[in-house]
Amino acid sequence: MCPILLGIRTPYSKPTYWRQCSHCQKATMSEPKARPLGGTELSWCRAVPGGTGITVLSLLLSRRPDPSLLQSALQKLQLHHPILRSTLSSSSISISSFPSVRLQSLEPPSNLLQTHLPFSSFHLLLEHELNQNPWSQFEEEEEDDDDDDAQFDVFFATLYSLPDSKHVLSLRLHTSICDRTAAVALSRELLGLMREGEKWVSGDVGGEEMFLTIEEMVPKGKGDKPFWSRGVDLMGYSLNSMRISNLGFGDVDAERASEVVRMQMSREETDRILAGCREREIKLCGALTAAGLIAANSKNIANNWSGNYTVVTMIDCRKYLDPVLQENCLGFYFSGILNTHSVTKGEELWDVAKRCHMALSNAIKSNKHFTDMGDLNFLMCKAIDNPGLTPSSSQRTAFMTMFEDTVIDDSSDSHEEVGLEDYIGCSSIHGVGPSVAVFDTVRNGRLDCAFVYPSPLHSRKQMQELIDDMKNILVGGRD
């Protein structure tokens, strides 16, 4: 048996964690492996039962894929990425030896497409999937002394047949094993399998995929924070939360669900925005954040048109880890940076965007994506346990969540080969989380954003108005 698998300390291995070596991959395929959950993974396991952290990738197809070939493609993904065939318990993650995903072929719920016009069937099924929660019983099982070893799958696939002879393929995953970068890689690999079948060859992750937590891969010294500094930061985050401005809440008591508003721009509009970012040497996330802040503040008349808003920016840490990970290495390797921005009436888009960009850049240079990782996980769990600590017990921990890097996709030709007409990837946030989470993509030169929000805490009308204002601000370049 390989010493890495046995957990024996060698100059080339880390104890208690498992990864497959190339020379013993075949020999170990028959044995399931397990390890304790990391701190970030535990936080997601706490959040998902309440409704935050259900990742969905929905594909709109113009022709029906062969179910048997699609089932085979999904199983190949599980073979190539061991973490996709894992199961979660209250304290550990285990990887099975064999693929377990089963493609379900369903008709859309009968009441879904009849009562929510004018939204497309594709849009409604995306929202439907975001609110299907096979992990909702996780905490109940965790507290059940007679069922300490309950295991929960992390990967589900459903093929819906629409009345117009189109089809929607939805992949639903537990966010603890699939962050945004992983979801993008997964979609590209699946489309490759659908297009090329047996001939398709992916990157070289396969059996070498790391089975380590993000906490254990932080470079030495990068995540260190003195005890007193950690206490001061936690106190600062807590005190600042009482001074931040929020969007107006609707129904704070009703059961919540995640809904989506979409913002799409023309190629010309996108070019102007990206040119503005290049001219000022900032990322698109800075412009999107600034537009959101200005749009929110313009409606906040009660605060005299001035307010402080908290934004969490998600950083893909793969390039910062030791060892550095490839983009197609699945798992959750993101960390959040929390900044509070003050916005005043009359400020222009690019001034606020530059300020947001500099705050994020300085935080990354200071390694806050590592040093504050445990703090933010702790605060998220405290908000889950004590909703009263958040405004109106809403469990809103920020105004907006944004991603540092935008997904770029210029693969329209390959999409046509498999009949892919549209796709959206995003995650639910109706448990603990922000008022709005932004999933941005530049697709064939056009900006396409999915904005996810908790309803009825916020209404669709309220969010549509906010997003319309953001678009006007981005296109106009000013308030």
Looking at 3.40.50.150, 3.30.420.40, 3.30.559.30, 3.30.2020.10, the CATH number of the domain 220-476 comes to 3.30.559.30
What is the distance of C-alpha 452 from the center of its chain?
11
Domain with CATH 3.30.559.30 in the chain: 220-476
Domain with CATH 3.30.559.10 in the chain: 33-215
At 101-128, the pLDDT tens digits run 999 998 888 777 766 557 889 999 999 9
**Rounded average pLDDT over 79-86:** 92
479: which residues sit within 8 A by CB, 6+ positions away? 294, 298, 345, 346, 347, 348, 349, 473
25: which residues sit within 8 A by CB, 6+ positions away? 207, 208
- Homologous superfamily in CATH for domain 33-215: Chloramphenicol acetyltransferase-like domain (3.30.559.10)
At 12-45, the pLDDT tens digits run 233 233 333 332 343 344 445 888 999 999 999 9
At 296-334, the pLDDT tens digits run 988 765 555 678 999 999 999 999 999 999 998 999 999
CA distances from 153 to 127, 157, 376 (A): 21, 12, 26
Contact 283, 405 (CB under 8 A): yes
pTM for this entry: 0.89
CA nearest 207: which of 317, 95, 100? 95
Distant-in-sequence contacts of 100-103, Cβ < 8 A, 24+ apart = 100/153, 101/74, 101/75, 101/153, 101/155, 101/156, 101/157, 102/71, 102/157, 103/67, 103/70, 103/71, 103/74, 103/157, 103/158, 103/159
The pairing of strands 155-161 and 103-106 is parallel
For residues 379-408, b (16+ Cβ closer than 10 Å) or e, as one string? bbbbbbeebeebbeebbbbbbbbbbbebbe
